[in-house]
């Protein structure tokens, strides 16, 4: 299965493992809750999906790599305990709490979350002395005498032996205590993630053209040659920062992430071509509706690879603006709820002094800062949510500074100041949104005039649909051209399904 299918399977497993009956008992007893075992090649996103699942399901996440653990660190250290049995004194060996189990309790204490996922990576690389204890852990969720707290689901992952020399193949007895999910690299599944993650357009369009280059592990005369999903994502983030700093993206840089000479060389060459297309086609002129006749002529004559790159360039440019606008609106929505609380607290102040006013703002931003720390440690806060909360905190700081500098002494004036600043930001956000809507219409107009309703339009509509930000933007603001072609392609797809079904019946 691909990584998306594995994610869905894990989410279902976590959900049923946490289900309780009317008396508060788990529907599936702890001993029958088989840990999920993600078995797949390195770099395909096994750890990333655990983080996504924890964030999506609002669960805490504790991750451990088992490669460095010894019997002592996993089970705890021995100590002598004095016992009295039948009136006689005995010295008995006991163990301190496992480092792994203790970290779960610490997470619960810090975050207040009583349910979560304990993710043990590289579980098939445990030391020989620890291996026998893993059998007991996988079934009863205990290390020594200490059990994983109720409400915590165990998930594990590992690489097949051909990718890791430290791997010890599990026997049937061990495998029979786990839910085994064999995960394979799948570009189409990763692409949906990449579009939403904001992977650089050059990476996506290159892989659209050369899907077989997405994941490659080979043995060559020079040693191991490999390209992984992790490598593409890390390269994408680096490219963005190199472009911001005006550093050259060349084969030397690409080779640090893509450890295959051919793919490294071809992607570096494609990146240069991608940048040339950006300059030649004047993407911002197309989006502003000012594309010249020469741009239309060149696009019409272009080969399919060049057309695909052009669509990627246009989408890349507009998706960045859409993403920023959606995140700003969501942050403003969060901010509005907080500001309503601030307004009520200001109105309820018995002593109207500057210190008391500033304390209202401070208590709010400190509460949000604590929320970020707790949810960040629990692994249940996405980067987007974190950024939105930070934007709210910055707005509270800004309001407090303005109140202090202007020395405002009346409740009504403070509330008016907050309202004016907030309304100003909302107006600016809506103005930018109107501009984006116009660019989106210009984009559809360009593709329609140049390519008609062909594959290029299908790629455009599909990517706008798959990307959560653009889908949300269109849902909130509407887009007549999108609705037109989305409906048309859905009808076409349904016709294809019917034709395929008829063909099967005839056969």
User: Given a cut of 90, is residue 360 above it in pLDDT?
Assistant: no
Average pLDDT score over residue span 469-474: 92
User: What residues have CB less than 8 Å from 76, skipping those under 6 apart?
Assistant: 95, 96, 97, 98, 99, 143, 144, 146
Cβ atoms of residues 460 and 444 within 8 Å: yes
User: Given a cut of 80, is residue 77 above it in pLDDT?
Assistant: no
pLDDT digits (tens, 9 = 90+) for 338-351: 999 888 888 887 77
Q: Within 36-164, where are the H helices?
A: 46-56, 71-75, 99-111, 131-140
CA-angle at 45, arms to 42 and 46, nearest 5°: 80
Confidence of residue 133 (pLDDT cuts 50, 70, 90): confident
Rounded Cα–Cα distance for residues 385 and 56 (Å)? 12
* Phi, psi dihedral angles at 183 (to 5 degrees): -105, 135
The pTM (predicted TM-score) of the whole model is 0.76
The first and second tokens of residue 455, run together, are: 């594959």
Rounded Cα–Cα distance for residues 232 and 200 (Å)? 9
Helices (H) and strands (E) in the chain, counts: 20, 11
- Give the rounded distance of the alpha carbon of 489 from its chain centre: 29
User: Given a cut of 70, is residue 162 above it in pLDDT?
Assistant: no
Nearest to 126 by CA among 64, 177, 198: 64
DSSP strand pairing (179-183 vs 36-40): parallel
Task: Tell me which long-range contacts 494-501 makes (C-beta under 8 A, separation of at least 24).
Answer: none
Rounded Cα–Cα distance for residues 89 and 392 (Å)? 62
pLDDT digits (tens, 9 = 90+) for 408-462: 777 788 889 999 999 999 999 999 999 999 999 999 999 999 998 888 898 899 8
What single DSSP character describes residue 98? P
Q: Within 28-184, where are the H helices?
A: 46-56, 71-75, 99-111, 131-140, 172-175
State the CB neighbour count (10 A cutoff) for residue 236. 19
State the CB neighbour count (10 A cutoff) for residue 21. 8
pLDDT digits (tens, 9 = 90+) for 283-316: 889 999 988 888 999 999 988 889 989 999 999 8
Nearest to 120 by CA among 104, 140, 97, 109: 104
Cβ atoms of residues 392 and 353 within 8 Å: no
User: What residues have CB less than 8 Å from 366, skipping those under 6 apart?
Assistant: none
User: Given a cut of 70, is residue 363 above it in pLDDT?
Assistant: yes
Give the pLDDT of residue 183: 85
Beta bridge partners of 37: 156, 180
User: Given a cut of 90, is residue 54 above it in pLDDT?
Assistant: no
Give the pLDDT of residue 267: 95
Confidence of residue 372 (pLDDT cuts 50, 70, 90): confident
């Amino acid at each position: 299965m691909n990584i998306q299918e594995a994610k869905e399977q894990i989410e279902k497993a976590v959900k049923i493992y946490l289900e309780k009956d009317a008396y508060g008992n788990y529907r599936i007893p702890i001993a029958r809750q088989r840990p999920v075992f993600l078995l797949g090649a390195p770099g395909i996103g096994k750890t990333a999906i655990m983080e996504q699942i924890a964030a999506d399901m609002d669960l805490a996440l504790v991750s451990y790599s088992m490669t460095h653990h010894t019997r002592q660190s996993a089970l705890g250290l021995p100590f002598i305990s004095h016992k009295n049995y039948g009136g006689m004194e005995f010295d008995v060996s006991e163990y301190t709490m496992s480092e792994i189990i203790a970290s779960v309790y610490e997470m619960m204490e810090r975050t207040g979350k009583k349910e979560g996922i304990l993710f043990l990576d590289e579980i098939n690389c445990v030391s020989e002395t620890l291996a026998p204890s893993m059998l007991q852990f996988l079934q009863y969720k205990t290390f020594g005498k200490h059990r994983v707290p109720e409400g915590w689901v165990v998930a594990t992952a590992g690489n097949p032996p051909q990718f890791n020399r430290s791997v010890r193949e599990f026997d049937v007895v061990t495998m029979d205590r786990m839910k085994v999910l064999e995960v394979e690299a799948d570009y189409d599944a990763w692409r949906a993630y990449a579009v939403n993650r904001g992977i650089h357009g050059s990476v996506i369009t290159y892989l659209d053209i050369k899907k077989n280059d997405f994941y490659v592990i080979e043995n060559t005369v020079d040693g191991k040659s490999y390209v992984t999903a992790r490598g593409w994502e890390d390269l994408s983030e680096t490219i963005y920062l190199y472009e911001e700093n005006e550093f050259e993206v060349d084969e030397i840089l690409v080779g640090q992430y893509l450890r295959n000479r051919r793919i490294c060389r071809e992607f570096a060459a494609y990146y240069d071509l991608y940048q040339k297309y950006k300059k030649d086609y004047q993407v911002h002129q197309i989006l502003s509706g000012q594309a010249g006749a020469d741009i239309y002529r060149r696009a019409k004559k272009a080969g399919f690879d060049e057309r695909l790159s052009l669509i990627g360039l246009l989408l890349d440019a507009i998706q960045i603006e859409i993403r920023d606008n959606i995140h700003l609106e969501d942050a403003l929505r969060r901010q509005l709820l907080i500001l309503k609380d601030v307004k009520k607290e200001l109105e309820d102040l018995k002593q109207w002094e500057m210190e008391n006013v500033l304390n209202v703002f401070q208590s709010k931003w400190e509460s949000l800062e604590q929320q970020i720390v707790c949810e960040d440690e629990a692994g249940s806060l996405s980067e987007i949510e974190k950024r939105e909360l930070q934007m709210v905190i910055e707005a509270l700081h800004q309001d407090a500074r303005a109140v202090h500098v202007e020395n405002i002494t009346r409740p009504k004036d403070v509330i008016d100041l907050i309202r004016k600043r907030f309304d100003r930001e909302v107006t600016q956000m809506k103005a930018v949104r109107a501009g984006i809507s116009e660019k989106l219409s210009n984009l559809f107009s360009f593709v329609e005039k140049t390519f008609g309703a062909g594959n290029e339009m299908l790629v455009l509509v599909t990517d706008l649909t798959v990307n959560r930000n653009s889908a949300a933007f269109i849902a909130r603001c509407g887009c007549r051209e999108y609705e037109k072609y989305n409906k048309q392609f859905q009808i076409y797809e349904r016709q294809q399904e019917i034709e395929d079904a008829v063909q099967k019946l005839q056969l």
